[in-house]
Amino acid sequence: MSNPTNDNANAAAPAPSDFIRDIVAKHVAEKKYPRIHTRFPPEPNGYLHIGHAKSICLNFGIAREFGGVCNLRMDDTNPTKEDIEYVESIQADVNWLIAGWAEKELGLNSQSAIGNRQSAIPQPFYASDYFDQIHDFAVALIKKGKAFVCDLTPDETDEYRRNAKESPFRNRSVAENLDWFTRMKAGEFSDGARVLRAKIDVASPNIWLRDPLLYRIKHAEHHQTGGKWCIYPMYDFAHCLSDYIEGITHSICTLEFEVHRPLYDWILENLDLPRALPHQYEFARLSVGYTVMSKRKLMELVTEKLVTGWDDPRMPTISGIRRRGVTPEALRNFAYNIGITKYNGLTDVAVLEFAIREDLNKNALRRLAVLRPIKVVLTNVPAGKTEELDAVNNPGDESAGKRQITFSRELYIERDDFAEVPPPKFFRLKPGGEVRLKYAYIIKCDEVVKDAAGNVTELHCTADLDSKTGGATAGRKVKGTIHWVSAAHAIDAEVRLYDRLFTEAEPDKDGRDFKSVLNAKSLEVLTAKCEPSLKDAKPELRYQFERLAYFALDKDSAPGKLVFNRTITLKDAWAKEAQKS
RNA sequence: UGCCCGAUGGUGUAACGGUAGCACAGCAGACUCUGAAUCUGUUUGUCAUGGUUCAAAUCCAUGUCGGGCAACCA
């Protein structure tokens, strides 16, 4: 078994274990199946979110750990709600999340029946590829007297099912049913006029066994099959059969499908299928604090322009999280840390944030950048004189190397790093006080320059010219070290400071309108002063602006125009300390 | 209301009849040219009541609370 959490693992992390993996392990030990085969089956009616990421990691993780395969399958049985845009985004998101981790486990769809899908990138499976076979299974069920065409209206069907009453069309002859179903398929009837139903047990305590619908009429163009069909299989009918057709062994879904399981089994067991049948297992979906997860709600945020799009970095979508700068490794570690159970809990965002910081701390390149600048003039440094100083790219990873930063008489430091009237335990710059400039000198604040309104506009300081890193008095202990950039050399960058989208941990608690608790300060845009090396920032790399936060280059960047997204702040013990007083 | 499922510190999880552990969060301290990271210590828990057993978080019963389903959605 390979290591699940760290791809370039040094410390051996324990293999994940949960009740589903326990079942799979048992089946492997029993040699119940020739090969473990899972699947991730999203409906292409929205963008994937972090809850889907949990499912992807579970399904691909199991395939990885047990030498199996996992198919990506579009569960596209309802053309009126689905769109090719979603198909494409889903594919991109899944490929991104499993890249370098479970690529080898991704099932390849080499026999796509429909369309011309030859391509370098792996193609997903489609339930719609099986519409012919699923239709034939429906006919088989009719022939066995286990399905019938029902003419009841939707309202009547509802009422009959609620009252455990048999449909008056339940006992039509096989020949009659075959004829009606053929005519349904031929397009003779309007939407809703007739349906195909399984004949199971109208009195079952489980609603899903009360002669459930198998096929409905929808005169709608399908994004994959075009105008070929005007009848489409329902989820329950299509899903178990798609699983069977693909040779799935473990069909893992969320808890709300638990009551459907008897129907899943009934359909497969009543078709005299020759191969081993797949089985369904359910786990709890993910809820994370300070966000919403339902596709409907996310869709609302997008269509009402409360965010900039599905990939807005504040969204819990995979594309939003990616754009924010989170790496697939971080997301996978998060998925691993939260585990798999049948308990519907609320995961603390701190768990997600920890996984993101842990990963970024290891990999991000350190840079100096000032978000809210205030000018510092070093009065004992000659104007025009510059110095190149060594700065390490990652203190935890020597192989990340060093770069040089330019030092000069006029600098910018963070406005928050100076306090005219310092609060208790303030380690930074204050009048008459000393502070270390990272990688450079210790400076002392001699004079505070203010404008007519009394705002601090400039600080005049002197540098201890022997205190340079490596110099004679470099060892002098100064309580604080702050970041800085040379005013003349700094480059501007737009920085987008993202915060949580909602002000409440449970935005939709007790039926409250989730949009009433949107965080008005979830985005703040600033122009930062950055060290010059950042002009070469690359979208695939991550940066830590020291003492502030982790950042990633946004896709809105252009030559000469840098845009950085704040992925997540550093932990800030000072903010906590300052809050106490 | 019927049916199904669940309940372990603040949160998420482990323990599979035999010492309630881990992670996050919190708190305290050490270290620090990032108030980050790292390191050390630490507070807090088996829903309730019965039963079975030498022994129960674990098995059984009842109750309580929570979630899901009752779409021609998935």
Helix/strand/coil percent split, chain A, to 5: 30, 25, 45
Q: What is the pLDDT of residue A468?
A: 85
Distance measured from the CA of protein residue A20 to the C1' of nucleotide B63, in angstroms: 30
Which CATH entry fits the domain spanning A367-489: 2.60.40.420, 2.40.240.10, 3.60.70.12, 3.20.20.140? 2.40.240.10
Q: What is the pLDDT of residue A4?
A: 38
Q: What is the pLDDT of residue A19?
A: 96
Nucleic acid strand B within 7 Å of A43 CB: yes
Give SS3 for A346: coil
The Cα A247–Cα A39 span in angstroms is 10
Residues of chain A short of pLDDT 70, as ranges, are 1-14, 111-121, 581
Looking at this protein, which amino acid is placed at residue A210? R
- In words, the CATH class of domain A131-234 is alpha beta
Closest nucleotide to A17, Cα to C1': B14
Looking at this protein, which amino acid is placed at residue A223? H
Q: What is the pLDDT of residue A11?
A: 36
Nucleic acid strand B within 7 Å of A73 CB: no
Which CATH entry fits the domain spanning A7-124+238-291+339-347: 3.40.50.1580, 3.30.110.40, 3.40.140.10, 3.40.50.620? 3.40.50.620
Nucleic acid strand B within 7 Å of A208 CB: yes
pLDDT tens sequence across A169-200: 999 999 999 999 999 999 999 999 999 999 99
- CA-based torsion, A521, A525, A529, A535: positive or negative: positive
Looking at this protein, which amino acid is placed at residue A342? K
CATH code of the region A292-338+348-363+491-581: 2.40.240.10
Distance measured from the CA of protein residue A16 to the C1' of nucleotide B16, in angstroms: 16
Q: What is the pLDDT of residue A424?
A: 92
> Which residue spans within A152-270 are E strands per DSSP?
195-198, 213-217, 231-233, 250-254
Residue A88 CB neighbours (<10 A): 11
C-beta of residue A325 within 8 angstroms of C-beta of residue A567: yes
Domains A292-338+348-363+491-581 and A367-489 share a fold: yes
Q: Is the ipTM here above 0.90? A: yes
Residues 403-442 of A with CB under 7 A from strand B: 425-428, 436, 438-440
pLDDT tens sequence across A491-537: 999 999 999 999 999 999 988 999 999 999 999 999 999 999 999 99
Distance measured from the CA of protein residue A268 to the C1' of nucleotide B17, in angstroms: 38
Q: What is the pLDDT of residue A125?
A: 97
Domain spans in chain A, listed from the N-terminal domain onward: 7-124+238-291+339-347, 131-234, 292-338+348-363+491-581, 367-489
Q: What is the pLDDT of residue A285?
A: 97
The Cα A357–Cα A369 span in angstroms is 19
Q: What is the pLDDT of residue A360?
A: 98
Active site residues of A: 43, 285, 295
Nucleic acid strand B within 7 Å of A576 CB: yes
DSSP secondary structure letter of residue A518 = B
Strand B nucleotides, any atom under 7 Å from protein beta carbons: they are: 2-8, 10-16, 23-27, 33-38, 66-74
Nucleic acid strand B within 7 Å of A159 CB: no
